[in-house]
Structure 1
Amino acid sequence: MLPIDLDVTRSVRAYMATCLSEPDFSLTRVHQGLRDAAWYSPKDRRALRSLCDARPKDFSRWLYERERDGHYTGLMMVWPAGYSTPIHDHAGLWGIEMVLQGSLIVEDYEVVADSQSTLPRFVGSTVLEEGQSCAFAGTEGHAHRCTNVSARRPAVTLHVYGGLLDTYRNFEATHDGRYAARSTIARIDGALGHERARGA
């Protein structure tokens, strides 16, 4: 665990605790409120610069919350310049992804299965600048790919997923133009200073 206590993760944990105590969960309401609740301070920006500088060519995923009853997982991600994920799903979980530094392009796909393979069909794309976010409902047919727009600078994002995201599927192109779905372990590179993240 890194001794980094961030204002933004503290504010998100407090906000999510209030959301989980409400009787009726609404992803739209949680997403809208998260934009106001997540405060990314100048102190946070300086602290996370060390993560960007330590491994400038590596994409990394940092756990800041694994809610004790499994209601949600919180991650920070550091994106090297120009990095792009494979097309991937989120194991049927809902999610919110917010850009704290830099900008991302998010390509959305609809996953269609036939008798021979799984085919992600491109739906559209969105560019997220600093402070902007997107949400997805976690349907079985949803997948996306994210790319750091900058060829020179890293990006930092904050993620909230509606459950324990232990595995997911990457969709890898095959030689015949189809895609193969590969089960992938949700790798965690480390935890950011919060005692409930220990041992995760």
Structure 2
Amino acid sequence: MANTIAPVRDTVAGALAATVTELAENPGAWLPRVRLSPAGRWYERLHHDGDREIWLISWLPGQSTGLHDHGGSRGAFAVALGGLQERDLGAVRDVGPGTVRTFGADYVHEVRNVSAAPAVSVHAYSPPLATMNRYDLADGRLVRLATEDAGQW
């Protein structure tokens, strides 16, 4: 059974958490697809419909998302292999295999691989991602650096 760190506050978040948990616990469905890229995180969209999308992401040591939001989408991610670290505006936490993180539409965070080994995670969003905002922290305040549209990733 997965260890969900963030509380599941609604049925959408619960459904996303169930989706990423099921996939993370079934490596036969995704392991042959995984690639490792020294140039940056590798990712592949596994599913997309009008309600949600699911992504598979691999992380080499040192790779990171930078601070970002999800453009108003709710989300969940599960670490399937290895370990990641998540930083939001209030905490830094280690996220290991079988752990699920859920978040709401206004959530800003950074996910990174600070370990010495590759990691793999499964992510789900509802509605599907249309935009993502990238941020930096300046004097303890978020500063938006860029907005990316879905066609840019």
Question: TM-score under structure 1 normalisation?
Answer: 0.61
User: What is the rounded CA distance, in whole Å, between the counterparts of 1:178 and 1:143 in structure 2?
Assistant: 9
Is residue 132 of structure 1 aligned with residue 114 of structure 2? no
Is residue 185 of structure 1 aligned with residue 149 of structure 2? yes
Match of 1:107 in 2: 87
Q: Which has the higher strand share?
A: 2
Match of 1:40 in 2: 26
Contact 2:20 2:122 (8 Å CA) reproduced: no
Shift of 1:31: 5.0
User: What is the rounded CA distance, in whole Å, between the counterparts of 1:64 and 1:78 in structure 2?
Assistant: 13
Contact 1:78 1:156 (8 Å CA) reproduced: yes
Match of 2:14 in 1: 29
Q: Deviations over 1:20-74 (max 9, x none)?
A: xxxxx613532553465333236743x245x12xx2342122111111xx10011
The count of aligned residue pairs is: 141
User: What is the rounded CA distance, in whole Å, between the counterparts of 2:130 and 2:17 in structure 1?
Assistant: 26
Is residue 97 of structure 1 aligned with residue 77 of structure 2? yes
Is residue 169 of structure 1 aligned with residue 133 of structure 2? yes
SS of match in other structure, 1:123:
coil
Shift of 1:85: 1.6
Listed as ranges, the gaps of 5+ residues in structure 2 are 1-9
Query: RMSD of the alignment, in Å?
Result: 2.6
Task: Compare CA radii of gyration and give the structure with the larger one.
Answer: 1
SS of match in other structure, 1:161:
strand
Shift of 1:173: 5.1
Listed as ranges, the gaps of 5+ residues in structure 1 are 1-24, 109-121, 189-200
Q: 1:80 to 1:57 in 2, by over 3 A?
A: farther
- Of all paired residues, the percent bearing the same amino acid is 21
Question: TM-score under structure 2 normalisation?
Answer: 0.77
User: What is the rounded CA distance, in whole Å, between the counterparts of 2:17 and 2:53 in structure 1?
Assistant: 18
Match of 2:120 in 1: 156
Is residue 58 of structure 1 aligned with residue 33 of structure 2? no
SS of match in other structure, 1:63:
strand
Match of 2:110 in 1: 145
Contact 1:75 1:159 (8 Å CA) reproduced: yes
SS of match in other structure, 2:70:
coil
